[in-house]
Chains A and B, each alone.
Chain A
Amino acid sequence: MTEGRLLQGRCLCGAVTVSVRSEDPRLRACHCDMCRRHTSSMFMSVDTDASTLTVEGPAQSYVSSEWAERGFCGTCGSTLWYGTKHDGTRHLAAGLFDNAAGGPLTLEFFSDRCPSGYELAGDHRRLSTKETIEMFTDADATDE
C-alpha cells in the first residue's frame, strides 16, 4: 500500500505546523461568499490523507456554519483549513505548503461566483453554484 508523500507546512508566523501525507496533492479552489470573505479571494485546498494529519500550535477554529468550521492561526491569522463536520476532515490550505506541494488545480467550486476581475487559468473542471450544491447534497454539505 502506498503511503503517500509526507508534506510539512506551517503558517506565516511558524507557530502552527502541520504534517500530513498525500498520494495525490491536487488543488481545489472555492469562490463561495464565505470563502471569499474569509480569505479575501478564494479558499484553495490541497488534497491529503486526513487520517495522517497532525497539527501543532495555536490553531483556532471558527464554526462558520452548520456543516463546517474554519481553522486559522490565533497568533498570525493565517488560513489553515476548511473542516467538514460530518466526517471531521480538515481540508488544508494550499498556502501552508511550499509551492502548494506542486499540485495542479483540478477543480473550482462556485466558479460562477468568482469575481469578474480575475480568473484562474487552466483547463480544470469548473462547477457552477448549482453543480457544487448538487455535488455536496449527495454526500456532505457546504457552508452555502
Chain B
Amino acid sequence: MNDVTHLTGHCLCGAVEITVSGGHDPRPGICHCRMCQRWSGGVFMCFEAPADAVSVNGDVTRYASSDLAERAFCPVCGSNLWMRNTDDADASFELMPGLFDAALDWPLRSEIYTDNAMAAAQIGGSHPKATRAEYEAKNNYVKGDAG
C-alpha cells in the first residue's frame, strides 16, 4: 500500500527534521525482539519509507546495532529516529512513527517476536502477528540477542 502524502516529522528537541515525499507504507509494525525492546525502552515501532523519498535535516548519530543494520537517534534529546539495513545502499528507512503527527492514527501492519513481548506489552488488535520462529523462518535476522 503506497501513500503519496508528504510527511514532516521531528524529534523531541526539534534538532532533527525528517521529511518523506511519498511512497511510504502508512502502517507501522511492532517488534518485540530483545534488541528492539532495549533500544525503544519498551515497544519498538517503525514504518517503511523508500530511501529516495526520505530527507533528513540536523545532526544524527548512527549506531551500528549489528552487521546488518544501523539505529539512528538525535544526539541532543535521544529520540529514536530510524532503523536501516546497512548491507544495501538502497535500503529503505524504517522510520519511527512517533516523530510524525500524520502517523498518529495509522493502523498496524504487523507485530513480530510476539512470544518475546513483555507481559506488560500485550498489544490488542487483529493485525498479522508472528512469533520469533515464524518470523525467522522467512526473514533475515540477527543471531543471538533476539529474545
Contacts and interface: CB of A to CB of B under 8 A. Distances in A.
Most buried by A among B12, B119, B123: B12
Nearest to A71: B78
A29 B123 contact: no
A74 interface: yes
Given A77-B39, A79-B40, A117 B120 contact: no
Of A94, A102, A105, chain B has the most CB atoms within 10 Å of the CB of A94
A72 B72 CA distance: 13
Nearest to A98: B34
Contact of A36 (B73, B98, B119, B120): B98
Contacts of B27: 117
Given A10-B38, A117-B107, A62 B76 contact: yes
B80 A40 contact: yes
B98 A39 contact: yes
Contacts of A122: 120, 122
Contacts of B44: 40-41
A104 B119 contact: yes
B121 A37 contact: no
A35 to B, nearest CB: 8
B121 A11 contact: no
B12 A34 contact: yes
B116 to A, nearest CB: 8
B61 A77 contact: yes
Contact of B124 (A44, A60, A120): A120
A123 to B, nearest CB: 11
Given A96-B38, A115-B106, 8 more contacts: A10-B38, A37-B12, A41-B45, A60-B78, A73-B78, A80-B41, A103-B119, A121-B124
Interface of B: 10-13, 27-28, 30, 34-35, 37-46, 61, 63, 65, 71-80, 96-99, 103-108, 118-125
